[in-house]
Amino acid sequence: MSQQSTGSNDLLFEVRDGIGRATFNRPQARNAFTFEMYERLAQICEQANRDRSIKVLVFQGAGDKAFASGTDINQFRAFKTPEHAIEYESRIDRVLTALEQCRAPTIAAITGACTGGGAGIAACCDLRIGTTTTRIGFRSRARSAIAFRCRVSAGWQR
């Protein structure tokens, strides 16, 4: 078994018996993503593409309140120009593409809220499993873009 994390332990990753488990570890912020977490998510997918011993990737949120609630709003405070927003959208597209094209099957184990970018992450996984507390939602602009990109069924778009 090996365990790796971001410098601040916001995204934990371990591989055991061929199963890669990534845990979004910011329960105090409903597992909202930092830019560093997005980069780590792409790195995990790249690692699974290289390491044939990883047979499946499971993504989950820490705690029982949220799988992931999208990007932490505090990340946007550094934006000073329109180009910053374009760079952000480019980063998200790159990360979701890495997830979509990952060699290993990907599973979103969803407990609680799964909204915005978190719903985008779940939509790009091969399989989504929820509980009775699972609630999935997109912002209206993001809903159409992500639904189109990931060919999400009408049931996801409510």
Answer whether residue 149 shows pLDDT above 60.
no
Question: Where does the pLDDT of residue 155 fall: very low under 50, low under 70, confident under 90, or very high at 90 and above?
Answer: very low
Nearest to 31 by CA among 67, 78, 82, 85: 67
Global pTM reads: 0.84
Tell me what pLDDT residue 138 has: 76
Q: Mean pLDDT across the chain, nearest whole number?
A: 87
Answer whether residue 140 shows pLDDT above 70.
no
Count of domains in the chain?
A: 1
Nearest to 44 by CA among 2, 73, 86: 2
Q: What is the CATH number of the domain that holds 108?
A: 3.90.226.10
What's the domain range around 44?
A: 2-157
Answer whether residue 158 shows pLDDT above 50.
no
Q: Tell me if 125 sits within 8 A of 108, measured CB to CB.
A: yes
| φ, ψ dihedrals at 108, nearest 5° | -100, 115
Walk across the sheet containing 11-16 and list its strands. 2-5, 11-16, 19-24, 56-61, 106-110, 127-130
Residue 141 structure tokens: 């602009």
